[in-house]
Structure 1
Amino acid sequence: MAQLLNTVAVVTGGGRGIGREIARQQARDGAKVAVLARTAVEIEETVSLIEGEGGRAIALTVDVTDYSSVESAFIRIAAELGPVDTLVNNHGSFRAFGPIWDCDPRDWWRDVEINLQGTFHTCRAASPAMIARGRGRIVNLVGGGTGNSFPHGSGYASSKAAIMRLTECLNDTTIGHGVLAFAVDPGLVRSAMTEMQLSSEAGKTYLPGIQQLFDDGVDIDPSRAALLIADIADGRFDVLAGRLLRGVDDRDALEKEMHSVVAADGRALRFSALEQLKL
């Protein structure tokens, strides 16, 4: 079913893992896809896979922490594929493991730069054209530590919680112009990031729970997030704009519950009702 026919999607971090599956699903559903990442060979392979399935895609080597690089990429995307309808920010970094006094300050800040600043850059580059056209959807991937403490992953967690708040702020700013923003937690997926956590000495020392979760059978297929994001791109979950959706969600059940979620002001970063009364 080509539910995204005649649309244009941008997927960052699209060279492997979750991002590759998101890009392929967007193409399967009819979108023309711009695949962005820093490693050319990986995004070219993603494009080859999409083209092998009959889709259309282009690969752009981009450093999301460099705004001029991001801006140039969006100019090229508009020229080669057309105006962007869907932006999926899947890029991510998680290299600083351990208590803050053991983390390399450069690694800790680099996680924040890639995750948070990179998302700000792409949102800034994409949103003006979306606003001018009166439509568009932006999906920002979050993850562990977004809504709870993650002591030995503080840089990653801080950046992902900030992306959640950025998503809320962005949506509240653009929703009146027809542009909606969503946060998606794909769940625990075997990826290059988790493999590094499993194999590195710091990961083994400070994040043993990751291996335990995999041993217990927790391993979310990336197709779940990809299918969810395709539904978001198609407008199925517009009621939940500004809120968190999860790869593990039953999409049919979520659709039935989404008005209740909004009524309860759920799936958002909030103080409790009692705490708000004290502010």
Structure 2
Amino acid sequence: MGILEGQVALVSGAGRGFGRAIAERLAQEGARVALLSRSGAQLEEVAAEIRRRGGAALSVECDVTDRASIEAAVKAAQEGLGPIDLLVNNAGIPGPFGPIWEVDPEEWWRAQAIHIRAPMLFMHAVLPGMVARGRGRMVCVSAIASRMVAPNLSAYCTGKIAQNRLVAEAAAELAGTGVAVFAIDPGFVFTQLARDTMESPEAQKYLGGMVERLRAASGDPTAQADLARCAQRVLDLASGRYDALSGNYYELPDDLDMALAAKKTEAAEGAA
């Protein structure tokens, strides 16, 4: 039996890239997985692969910026698989690229609907059930950009900073409920999002160094290794072992066991 046997996980952006890797890993450990994105064909491909391996999966088309769409997707997931134990907010968008005074403000704001509005809507739809049951976990796939100042990437950096703070705020409000929330950097992989960035004229104009890095990664098979590492990190956080670290943001090189030990030491010293 896997460590998530009997649990239900909901993963947004699950049709490809990190979302697919996470969903497949959770299913391998026994979770019944609801797969969400706007692309039904991609979701069905992932669901079919999970089922082929003996797992359970349900694909649900969803616009993560729309409250009614999210609420309908959560309802479908619960009716089809059961109460949600694990929420993985993974959907993302890289652009727009360029100076703040040149990018289209509406396009910039639409990016925030995916970065900020989506995880808030998912929390609003899923957390009440978790709190009522006294258990549950959420992992928000943020990015290393959340702690960087990257010129011409303001929409992405701002959105990811906001995700980390949203997780921290939720953790503070969830203290004592049995529900834990985390933010992570997934690592660096040449996904479709990376391809979209590499092929963007604006990214080529304003983010030449990043584009060259992506171009190099596109032909490097070892550049895909972080897919498995990210999926394992989500699984580790879903296991419950690290619930005391709720509210924090972690990158793949971070040692969760060391962070947990430090947290316990801090708590012991505070109680002394």
Aligned residue type for 1:118: A
Equivalents in 1 of 2:58, 2:67: separation in Å? 20
Quick one: which amino acid aligns to residue 259 of structure 1? A
Q: TM-score scaled to structure 2, two decimals?
A: 0.91
Amino acid at match of 1:260: A
The answer to whether the Cα contact below 8 Å between 2:17 and 2:191 also exists between their aligned partners in 1 is: yes
CA–CA distance in structure 2, aligned partners of residues 198 and 182 of structure 1: 29
Q: Which residue of 1 aligns with 2:237?
A: 232
1:119-169 Cα offsets, whole Å, 9 max, x none, are 111111000000000000011111142112122110111111001000000
Unaligned ranges ≥5, structure 2: 268-272
- Evaluate the alpha carbon distance shift between residue 36 and residue 223 of structure 1 in structure 2; reply closer, same or farther with a 3 A threshold: same
**CA distance, structure 1, for counterparts of residue 135 and residue 115 of structure 2:** 25
Structure 1 gap segments, 5+ residues each: 266-279
Structure 1 residue 264: deviation in Å? 7.7
Aligned to 2:37: 37
TM-score by length of 1: 0.88
The corresponding residue for 1:80 is: 80
| Deviation, structure 1 residue 212 | 4.0
Measured against aligned partners, the alpha-carbon deviations of 1:69-115 in whole angstroms (never above 9, x if no partner) come to: 11111112111111110000000112200111221222211111111
Which amino acid in structure 1 is aligned with residue 61 of structure 2? T
Amino acid at match of 1:15: G
Judge conservation of contact 2:139–2:181 (CA < 8 Å) in 1.
Answer: yes
- Matched position secondary structure for 1:93: coil
CA distance in 2, matches of 1:166, 1:173: 11
Partner of 2:262: 260
Structure 2 residue identity aligned to 1:225: C
Bigger mean CA deviation after superposition, 126-135 or 94-103: 94-103
1:61 and 1:148, CA in 2 relative to 1: closer, same or farther beyond 3 A?
Answer: same
Matches of 1:23 and 1:171, distance apart in 2: 23
Which aligned runs of 4 or more in structure 1 are off by greater than 3 angstroms?
211-220, 261-265
* Native 8 Å contact 1:239 1:259 kept in 2: no
Could you tell me how far apart the structure 2 residues matched to 1:12 and 1:135 are? Answer: 20
The structure-2 alpha-carbon separation of the partners of 1:208 and 1:264, relative to structure 1 and needing over 3 Å to count, comes to: farther
Matched residue, 2:270: none
**How far apart are residue 187 of structure 1 and its match?**
1.7
CA contact (8 A) 2:23 2:35 kept: yes
Task: Provide the secondary structure at the position in 1 that maps to 2:158.
Answer: helix
Alpha-carbon distance between aligned partners in 1 of 2:161 and 2:264, rounded to the nearest angstrom = 20
Deviation at 1:238, TM superposition (A): 1.5
In the other structure, the counterpart of 1:277 is none
Query: In structure 2, how many angstroms separate the alpha carbons of the residues matched to 1:43 and 1:227?
Result: 21
Indicate whether 1:163 and 2:163 are aligned: yes
Retained in 2: the 8 A contact 1:11–1:88?
yes
Measured against aligned partners, the alpha-carbon deviations of 1:46-83 in whole angstroms (never above 9, x if no partner) come to: 10111111100000001011111111111121111111
Asked whether the 8 Å contact 1:3–1:234 carries over to 2, the reply is yes
Is the aligned partner of 1:141 residue 2:141? Answer: yes
CA contact (8 A) 2:244 2:263 kept: no
The number of residues matched between the two structures is 262
